[in-house]
Chain A
């Protein structure tokens, strides 16, 4: 089977890719700017195509707990929402992380705090990468910067989620969700028929009961579990870092940006280079694990780093930690649903040289 070329919105690409990835279930609740995910799935009738269940829950809290239930049965399940809705899901996400279950949560970020705006933002970086819910846990966080990646990362997310028994978040934003680009869709995968041995699907006489829980009354046992999680996160840090570099070979000034901001920076680099300024970009594809080592290496080669984010300055803290004081690190950001224009990013760089 060959790949199929389509012109799609990022949100639609996520939905179609979920069907094609052989997802078993999607549970969601509408919110701008990601409502097209649920709308597309409803219209595409995946139940007739693959048997995939699509359900509009009564709330975000219900949706994430349906994901929890589906994941506990070993199914490939997902939900999507936008910032305020993701906040509502945080309790469930913490439980899923605590129960070591795989799932995909898509956040098409909009301006905040509170209800904020419906325009694109990246102000949920801390929430996505540092926890979000309570307790010591991490999500694996993928940051698409094109409609193609919105599609491709669905499959990748399920692969990583099952490999590590860990929830994966796709941290997108309103621009990538609403924008149309061409996208090559993978052929339909069959839904998996194998049941993981940890799944709660009823106890046969041949084995002990399987228990899925995030509760432990014994603090010593809980600490051992915490240590197990740390070991898992360290393995993820070691093996799953993904990033992309643009014109870093001779760069003297390095932008660090993900998602829509990374697209803006590519144009800013063109503008800067046309004026003889050697700029480059490191685009983290995984925000957790963060490309710490590569940034540390680049800090030996460049004169300055600028974290460009649609936020008040969140990822900049990780850039500072990674570069470890070797070079000056600045933040340039727009907030509230404003997207930086390439010219203003180039101007900011020039103001710091």
Chain B
């Protein structure tokens, strides 16, 4: 099993940390992982993206062009990376602020209105956890238990009081993701 994932969106949307939690959780499950961010001027505002590869074999190139799953969280990323998803692959997008929706017919397209849901939860920062919950629903590779462990490991202790709201967000994500 090898899952090659691209996550892209605005800087500040939690793209890199979502990838990190995925990688950490997969590592807890004894899998090989790589997390390759774009670290250029993008991370100083504008777009951010990260390639996460999870595999039960040694990972070859951490930098790849085609993905099993694309999690594309703004219009710019959707326009740029829709064509990078392998035929038969999965695209997850947030409908918030999207004018041009994905059009491919040879992939499965899922919509998750995470920004809207995060607003409803009055907790905009859990946006990425809602998306991650949605991903876990359609690609059950990493488990909720390990994601919570990952959160505990990657959040400084003073933020550990936020873990329950993150867990709620993951569960909301699993509920609201829908195929289009």
Contact = CB atoms under 8 A, between A and B. Distances in A.
B35 interface: yes
Interface residues of B, number: 20
A119 interface: yes
Interface in A158-187: 174-175, 178-182
B36 interface: yes
A32 B63 CA distance: 19
Nearest to A33: B39
B93 to A, nearest CB: 23
Contacts of A58: none
B36 A178 contact: yes
B33 interface: yes
Interface string B3-36: 0000000000000000010011001000011111
Contacts of B35: 7, 179-181
B63 A264 contact: yes
A7 B20 contact: yes
A249 B169 CA distance: 51
A123 interface: no
A270 interface: yes
A311 interface: no
Given A342-B64, A343-B65, A182 B36 contact: no
B39 A182 contact: no
Contacts of A339: 63
Contacts of B66: 343
B33 A182 contact: yes
Given A7-B27, A174-B39, A343-B65, A180 B60 contact: no
Interface in B50-99: 59-66
A266 B36 contact: no
Contact of A341 (B23, B39, B40, B64): B64
A237 interface: no
Interface residues of A, number: 27
Nearest to A266: B60
Contacts of A117: 40
Interface string A51-62: 000000000000
Given A267-B64, A341-B63, A343-B65, A178 B34 contact: no
Contacts of B24: 7
A341 B65 contact: yes
Nearest to B33: A182
Contacts of A5: 27
B37 interface: yes
A267 B34 CA distance: 14
Contact of A181 (B33, B37, B39, B60): B33
Contact of B33 (A7, A265, A268): A7
B40 A179 contact: no
A260 B33 contact: no
Nearest to A342: B61
Given A179-B34, A343-B65, A7 B23 contact: yes
Contacts of B61: 263-268, 341-342
Interface in A328-343: 337, 339, 341-343
Interface of B: 20, 23-24, 27, 32-37, 39-40, 59-66
Given A181-B62, A263-B61, A268-B61, 14 more contacts: A7-B23, A119-B39, A175-B62, A178-B39, A180-B20, A180-B23, A181-B32, A182-B33, A260-B63, A264-B61, A266-B60, A337-B40, A341-B65, A342-B60
12 contacts: A7-B33, A7-B35, A33-B39, A175-B36, A175-B62, A179-B62, A181-B32, A182-B32, A260-B63, A264-B60, A337-B40, A341-B64
Interface of A: 5, 7, 32-33, 117-119, 174-175, 178-182, 260, 263-268, 270, 337, 339, 341-343
